[in-house]
Structure 1
Amino acid sequence: MQVIKSKEYNKYQSSNTCLAIGAFDGLHKGHQLIINEAIKEARENNFPAAVLSFHPHPLEIIPGKNPPPSIVSRKQKISILAEMGIDYYFEQEFNQEFASLRAEEFINEILIDKINVSTVVVGDDFRFAYKNEGNVEILNKMGELHGFKARIISQLHASDDRISSTRIRSLLKKGKIKKAKKLLGRPYQICGEVIHGKKIGRKLGFPTANLKLETNYALPPEGVYAAKIKFDNQEYVASANLGYNPTFRNEDISFEAYILDFDGDIYGKRVCVDIIEFIRDEENFASKEELITQMKQDILYTRNLLC
């Protein structure tokens, strides 16, 4: 997949592009439905399949708005789109200039003049352009006028409610990891760089990979989780802890993982952790010995579950 940033749109030479548009801030099953329709249309006609999305999140730019915590980072978004089979990812820089574009300007100047769309696929709640004046009705009318198809995809529902990033964030906050996985179509994943920490785990006999998270993730409740950790094209089982390590009175929240059956140096590497199942709440232990005993139980539980 080729990533094309908005400053480079003029370099794009293909035509008849089948384009899915959206914030796609969770790449959940609802978003996947929209994107897969663009891929299907492209493959049937031997056209390029593409996605246009935004970076940074629009709510980071719009005055008076606060962006929600992320379900996927920019790197994860690009990786997932590539795995889905997208040929081109158009990453639109969301700034004040772009936010001021009127609906017809966005369609004429970007979709038609630069991306050469033949089909545009969006969700039925899609809004765009200045003050969200653009909607699916306008997109349809402009498509008829300029000769491209507008495909409007109805929202996907699960358990009598639509699948949305807001709903997934709420599930994660409540610790409903398996329900979030069902709506995502994959385990909830957190990625980051392995950095040096206080090496408390190593002193206890359980060296952990301490992660500097690569975005402001939507985090589940503090506690211990059975997980899978991925790096260097390998996957390992891990017992992960999210929290403040109250036994040692840490002031900052941390996310660290003890990798089962692994003894190597991964400092500086980017790793991704699939959170599989909640094991227990974080606890304040009376002694290091009590903590070590509990950690052994956590690891045994994780091993029995995932190995």
Structure 2
Amino acid sequence: MQVISSKDYNSYQDYNTFLAIGAFDGLHQGHQLIIKKAVKKAEKAGCPAGVLSFYPHPQQVIPGKTPPPAVISRQQKIDLLAKMGVDYYFEQQFTPEFAGLKSEIFVEKILVKKLKVKKVIVGDDFRFGSKNEGNVEILQQLAELNGFETEILAQLQSSDERISSTRIRRLLKKGKLESASKLLGRPYQICGQVIHGKKRGRKLGFPTANLKTETNYTLPPRGVYAVKVYHEDQQYLGAANLGYNPTFKNKEISFEIYLLDFEGDLYGERLCVDFFAYIRGEKTFNNVTELSQQMKKDVLYTRKVLC
């Protein structure tokens, strides 16, 4: 998959693009439906399949708005789209200038002239243009005027409620990992770079990878989790601690992972961590001996859950 930033749209040389458009801020089952439809129809027609999305989050740019915590990072979005068979990812830089673009200008100058669309596929709640003036009816009218097709897909529902990133965030914050994973179509995952920590785990016999997350993720409740960890092409089982380490009175939240049956140096490496099960809540121990004994139990339970 080729990633093309909006500043490089003029370099795009393909034609008859089947394009899925959306914020796709969770790439959940509902988003996947739209994208898979574009990929399938493009393959059948022998045309390129593209996805147009936005970076940074629009609410980070619009005055008076605050972006919600993320469900996926930019890099995770790119990796997932590539696995779905998308040929081109068009990343529209969301700026104040772009936010003020009229809907007809967006269609004529970007979709038609630059991305050379043959068909545009969106969800039925799709909005675009300055102050969200454009909706699916306006998109269909502009498509007819500009000579391309549209397909509007109804939003997927689960348990009589629309699948949305907002709903997934709500579930994650409540610790309902299984329900969130069902809507995502995959385990909830947090990625980041391994940084140097206090090295307390090493002294306790459980060296941990301290992760600096690559975006402001939606966090589940503080505590210990059974996880699977991905580094390059390898998968490891792990026990992860998300919290303030109250035994040591930390003032900042940390995310530390003990990789079972692993030896090596991961400093500076990128890890992705899938959440599978909640083991226990955050707890203050009287001393490091109590903490070490509990960590042994946590590791044993992790093996039981994941093996």
- TM-score, normalised to structure 1's length? 0.99
Equivalent position SS for 1:67: coil
**What is the CA-CA distance between 1:139 and the residue it aligns to?**
0.7
Distance (whole Å) between structure 2 residues aligned to residue 249 and residue 143 of structure 1: 59
1:121 alignment partner in structure 2? 121
Q: Provide Cα deviations, 1:252-303, integer angstroms capped at 9, x if missing partner.
A: 1000100000011010000000011111001001111111111111100111
Equivalent position SS for 1:59: helix
Letter in 2 for 1:299: V
1:100 alignment partner in structure 2? 100
Instruction: Please state if 1:297 is matched with 2:293.
Output: no
2:40 alignment partner in structure 1? 40
Distance (whole Å) between structure 1 residues aligned to residue 149 and residue 296 of structure 2: 59
Distance (whole Å) between structure 2 residues aligned to residue 64 and residue 237 of structure 1: 42
How many residues matched?
307
Q: Which runs of 5+ in 1 are unaligned?
A: none
For 1:107-146, what aligned pairs fall within 5 Å after superposition? 107-146=107-146
1:28 alignment partner in structure 2? 28
Distance (whole Å) between structure 2 residues aligned to residue 65 and residue 145 of structure 1: 34
Distance (whole Å) between structure 1 residues aligned to residue 142 and residue 103 of structure 2: 10
1:204 alignment partner in structure 2? 204
Distance (whole Å) between structure 2 residues aligned to residue 37 and residue 143 of structure 1: 18
2:77 alignment partner in structure 1? 77
Instruction: Please state if 1:286 is matched with 2:286.
Output: yes
**What is the CA-CA distance between 1:159 and the residue it aligns to?**
0.6
Q: Provide Cα deviations, 1:118-149, integer angstroms capped at 9, x if missing partner.
A: 00000000000100001100111111122211
1:239 alignment partner in structure 2? 239
Equivalent position SS for 1:280: strand
Q: Provide Cα deviations, 1:181-228, integer angstroms capped at 9, x if missing partner.
A: 000000000000000000010010100000000000000000000000
Letter in 1 for 2:30: G
For 1:177-256, what aligned pairs fall within 5 Å after superposition? 177-256=177-256
Distance (whole Å) between structure 1 residues aligned to residue 159 and residue 228 of structure 2: 28
Q: Which runs of 4+ in 1 moved over 2 A?
A: none
2:170 alignment partner in structure 1? 170
For 1:61-76, what aligned pairs fall within 5 Å after superposition? 61-76=61-76
Letter in 1 for 2:203: K
Distance (whole Å) between structure 2 residues aligned to residue 62 and residue 299 of structure 1: 45
Superposed CA RMSD: 0.5
Distance (whole Å) between structure 2 residues aligned to residue 148 and residue 293 of structure 1: 65
Equivalent position SS for 1:299: helix
Distance (whole Å) between structure 2 residues aligned to residue 232 and residue 30 of structure 1: 28
**What is the CA-CA distance between 1:86 and the residue it aligns to?**
0.3
Equivalent position SS for 2:178: helix
Distance (whole Å) between structure 2 residues aligned to residue 60 and residue 177 of structure 1: 27
Letter in 2 for 1:9: Y
Equivalent position SS for 1:27: coil
- TM-score, normalised to structure 2's length? 0.99
Q: Provide Cα deviations, 1:135-191, integer angstroms capped at 9, x if missing partner.
A: 100111111122211110000000110000000000000000010000000000000
Equivalent position SS for 1:272: strand
Letter in 1 for 2:285: F
**What is the CA-CA distance between 1:232 and the residue it aligns to?**
2.1
Equivalent position SS for 2:78: helix
